[in-house]
Amino acid sequence: MSYAIETDHVSKSFGSVQAVDDVSLRVDRGEIYGFLGLNGAGKTTTIRMLLGMIRPSAGNVKVLGQVVGPYGRGPWAQVGHLVESPSCYPELTVRENLEIGRRYHGVKNPNATDEIIEQLVLSAYAGRKAGTLSLGNLQRLGLARALLHQPELIILDEPANGLDPAGIVEIRKLLASLAHERGATIFMSSHILTEVDKLADRIGIVHKGQLIEELDADRLEEIRSLQLSIRTQDLAKAQEVLVSNQYTTATIQDSRLVVKDKQAVESPELIATLLVQAGMPPTHLAVEQENLEEYFLRLTKVNGGQS
Amino acid sequence: MNSFAAALWAETLKARRSSTPLLTAIGFMLAPLTAGLFMIIMKDPERARDMGLLSTKAQLAMTTAEWGTFLGMLTQAVAIGGLILFSIVTSWVFGREFSDRTAKDLMALPTSRETIVSAKLVVVSVWSFAATIFIYVLALLIGNLVDIPGWTVALAAQTFRDVLATAGMLLLLMTPVAFIASLGRGYLPPLGWAVLTIFLSQIIAALGWGDWFPWSVPALFSGVIGPRSAQLGMHSYVVIFLTGLVGLAATYGYWRTADQTK
């Protein structure tokens, strides 16, 4: 069976700007794929190429086994999408906006609109003009339009944008249930690592237009490095003490001292002893796993520095 | 419901819910209302002066208050005003998808982009013809109210045909407007284009080349510079038709192949 998404050495440049550079990725059917990258990394351009909105400068894109291009109707009856910020016809009601989507997708079930309104908790706003919606509800409307025809593949660009924390959890649950219960494939981009980490089966990291890493979500847990986190009264002095004792990785980050030397992680009691002897007993000493942001920044730094 | 019917339903709904049709209708109403006011003044200039409609120093053009003059003014108003109002309609129908950032939602659909463009063009045509027929009917009512002399059914029928033909020519000139609204991704570029073409149409007509310039032809046809210009020939209508065709191809081509980054 073909992949849900398959890109083969896809590139896109706008004048002298290389937005996407030789990206080859494959997303299996039924998979939740997180597409991570900083703002301007090339996520939205890649998504637009997947949806045939932008023609690649080089390479090919296949969606649900069909080559994406300007000719033919493509696989779009089975694809739902939300690209960038949600948009709507402001003079139409929420229901009318969705009704347009239903008809464009050729959905015969006349109740589909009401069903998705209920599912996305938009009932209270169904008769309201879309132009009056808050950003969060506009995002729900965009998601509703992407999901109302029960697509086999859902492509979402920053789906958590504008949602409050409860809304984020709710949408996460909805997407997880679509993938796990209905077997839908989800391709979602985000610059929020924790969000992708909680949902994705596999993660692709894009930086400066290039896919620099692709890994299973479980593997991400394993490869994030361990570090010793220390709090004491005088962080600068403590850092001096540790560096003079060959713990050269000691750095101050967010009002704490972080040491990544293998010996420090494996034998934190040695560090505690050193600090006590120097008259700066630690008030907090813990071996922690590098957080996702740190891992991400480390990875992107290795691959060409900050963007 | 097939995909064209779905697209037409969507485009009609957007137009119905918008205030633009009402505003364009009001704008277009100025044509018969102004022509009617002229008829009142020309019928009885002394009374018009008493009512303050006419300055004591003002001189009236050498025209008479009769149905032929009145309906002639209407046709000319359709030719000039229609170029602006139809351009506003076309700019709104196409440009709003970019201004409201909804163009991206019209991509990646089982309903093809060509179908959506076709539905938009049908809405522009129906909207423009409806506005034209509306002001024609309004003109007949105003003419009757003002009690203009010289009414004949044949004259009214001939004017109706002329007004529709003028509107038809203008509609052919709207396909480049649709293209520029798409290319320029908003309302302003096509409106700028409309102003430019009106300006050029005046200059080129004054230079005597109006029969070759598509944007001058509707005005020449309507009799702006006197009875229907003898300059106009088959080549004038062919030029308009070809302009419409090129605009159509450019619009479909743009929607089919251009990168949609907005």
How far apart CA A159 and CA A145 sit, in angstroms, is: 13
Question: Of the given ranges (A102-116, A138-152, A153-167, B224-238), which has the lowest mean pLDDT?
Answer: B224-238
Whether residues A261 and A218 share a domain: the answer is no
Q: How many helices (H) and strands (E) does chain A have?
A: 11, 14
- Residues of B with CB below 8 A from A130's CB? none
Residues B40-90: pLDDT tens digits?
Answer: 887 777 776 777 766 655 555 556 788 988 999 899 899 989 999 999 999
> Least CB-CB distance to A76: which of B18, B100, B110?
B110
A222, A239, A268 - which closes a domain: A222
How far apart CA A272 and CA B224 sit, in angstroms, is: 96
Q: Please report the residues numbered 98 through 137 in chain A whose beta carbons come closer than 8 angstroms to any beta carbon of chain B.
A: 100-101, 103-106
CB contact under 8 A, B105 and A92: no
How far apart CA B218 and CA B40 sit, in angstroms, is: 27
Whether residues A149 and A244 share a domain: the answer is no
Which residues lie closer than 8 Å to A208 by C-beta, 6 or more apart? A21, A41, A42, A303, A304, A307
CB contact under 8 A, A105 and B257: no
- Residues of A with CB below 8 A from B112's CB? 73
Nearest Cα residue in chain A from B10 = A100
How far apart CA A88 and CA A220 sit, in angstroms, is: 37
Residues A97-152: pLDDT tens digits?
Answer: 999 999 999 999 999 999 999 999 899 999 999 999 998 899 999 999 999 999 99
Nearest Cα residue in chain A from B6 = A103
pLDDT at A114: 96
User: Nearest-CA distance from B122 to chain A in Å?
Assistant: 17
The one-letter code for the residue type at A185 is: T
Size of interface A-B (CB pairs under 8 A): 80
pLDDT at B228: 63
User: Nearest-CA distance from B8 to chain A in Å?
Assistant: 10
Tell me which residue of A12, A51, A49, A4 sits closest to A31, measured CA to CA. A4
Judge whether A280 lies within some domain. Answer: yes
User: Nearest-CA distance from A253 to chain B in Å?
Assistant: 39
> Least CB-CB distance to A92: which of B14, B257, B261?
B14
Helix (H) or strand (E) run with residue A273 in it: helix A268-277
Whether residues A178 and A34 share a domain: the answer is yes
A222, A248, A270 - which closes a domain: A222
How far apart CA A229 and CA A143 sit, in angstroms, is: 40
CB contact under 8 A, B13 and A100: yes
pLDDT at B227: 64
**B16, B19, B105, B116: best to mutate for the A interface, most A CBs within 10 A:** B105
Judge whether B223 and B159 are in contact, CB under 8 Å: no
Residues A187-222: pLDDT tens digits?
Answer: 999 877 777 888 899 999 999 999 998 988 877 777
Whether residues A147 and A161 share a domain: the answer is yes
Q: Residue A261's pLDDT band (boundaries 50, 70, 90)?
A: confident
Tell me which residue of B169, B89, B179, B192 sits closest to B131, measured CA to CA. B89
CATH number at residue A107: 3.40.50.300
Nearest Cα residue in chain A from B257 = A70
User: Nearest-CA distance from A173 to chain B in Å?
Assistant: 25
If you average pLDDT over each of A130-134, A229-233, B40-44, B118-122, which comes out highest?
A: B118-122
How far apart CA B24 and CA B82 sit, in angstroms, is: 10
Whether residues A184 and A201 share a domain: the answer is yes
Strand order across the A185-190 sheet: A79-82, A153-157, A185-190, A32-36, A202-207, A210-216
For the residues of A162-215, what is the DSSP string, one character each?
T--HHHHHHHHHHHHHHHHHH--EEEEEES-HHHHHHH-SEEEEEETTEEEEEE
Q: What is the DSSP letter of A149?
A: T
Q: Where are the beta strands (DSSP E) in chain A?
A: 5-14, 17-27, 32-36, 58-63, 66-67, 79-82, 153-157, 185-190, 202-207, 210-216, 226-231, 251-253, 256-259, 284-289
Across the range B15-44, mean pLDDT stands at 87
- Measured in degrees and rounded to the nearest 5, phi and psi for residue B93 equal -60, -40
- Residues of A with CB below 8 A from B16's CB? none
Whether residues A159 and A238 share a domain: the answer is no
The answer to whether residue B35 scores a pLDDT higher than 90 is no
What ipTM, to 2 d.p.?
A: 0.86
Judge whether A297 lies within some domain. Answer: no
What are the Cα distances from residue B91, in Å, to B77, B86, B172, B175, B176?
20, 8, 14, 10, 10
pLDDT at A306: 46
Q: Which domain holds residue A231?
A: 225-289
Whether residues A138 and A161 share a domain: the answer is yes
Beta-sheet pairing, A226-231 with A251-253: unpaired
CATH number at residue A258: 3.30.70.790
How far apart CA B35 and CA B28 sit, in angstroms, is: 12
Q: Tokens for A150?
A: 């029960």
The structural domain count of chain A equals 2
Nearest Cα residue in chain A from B260 = A53
What are the Cα distances from residue B251, in Å, to A266, B181, B259, B261?
67, 9, 13, 17
Radius of gyration of chain B (CA): 20
Is pTM beyond 0.90 here?
no
Residues A13-34: pLDDT tens digits?
Answer: 999 999 999 999 999 999 999 9
Whether residues A144 and A267 share a domain: the answer is no
A173, A206, A222 - which closes a domain: A222
Q: How many Cα atoms occupy the beta-carbon half-sphere of A206 within 13 Å?
A: 29
Helix (H) or strand (E) run with residue A220 in it: helix A217-223
- Residues of A with CB below 8 A from B14's CB? 89, 91-92
- Residues of B with CB below 8 A from A55's CB? 257, 259
SS3 assignment for chain B: CCHHHHHHHHHHHHHHHCCHHHHHHHHHHHHHHHHHHHHHHHHCHHHHHHCCCCCCCCCCCCCCCCHHHHHHHHHHHHHHHHHHHHHHHHHHHHHHHHHCCCHHHHCCCCCCHHHHHHHHHHHHHHHHHHHHHHHHHHHHHHHHHHCCCCCCHHHHHHHHHHHHHHHHHHHHCHHHHHHHHHHCCCCHHHHHHHHHHHHHHHHHHHCCCHHHCCCCHHHHHHCCCCCCCCCCCHHHHHHHHHHHHHHHHHHHHHHHHCCCCC
CB contact under 8 A, B17 and A96: yes
Whether residues A166 and A218 share a domain: the answer is yes
With 0-12 / 13-18 / 19 or more C-beta atoms within 10 angstroms meaning exposed / middle / buried, residue A76 is buried
**A49, A73, A85, A104: best to mutate for the B interface, most B CBs within 10 A:** A104
What are the Cα distances from residue A225, in Å, to A15, A98, A112, A231, A262?
39, 46, 47, 20, 10
Judge whether A300 lies within some domain. Answer: no
pLDDT at B237: 95
| Dihedral (CA of B32, B33, B37, B38) sign | negative
Judge whether A242 lies within some domain. Answer: yes
Whether residues A72 and A52 share a domain: the answer is yes
What are the Cα distances from residue A243, in Å, to A250, A293, B81?
7, 25, 81
User: Nearest-CA distance from A157 to chain B in Å?
Assistant: 12
pLDDT mean across residues, chain B: 89
How far apart CA A287 and CA B57 sit, in angstroms, is: 97
**A83, A103, A156: best to mutate for the B interface, most B CBs within 10 A:** A103
What are the Cα distances from residue B88, in Å, to A65, A140, B11, B18, B135?
42, 32, 16, 13, 17
- Residues of B with CB below 8 A from A154's CB? none
Whether residues A139 and A11 share a domain: the answer is yes
Helix, strand, or coil (residue A17): strand
pLDDT at B174: 97
Judge whether A306 lies within some domain. Answer: no
pLDDT mean across residues, chain A: 89
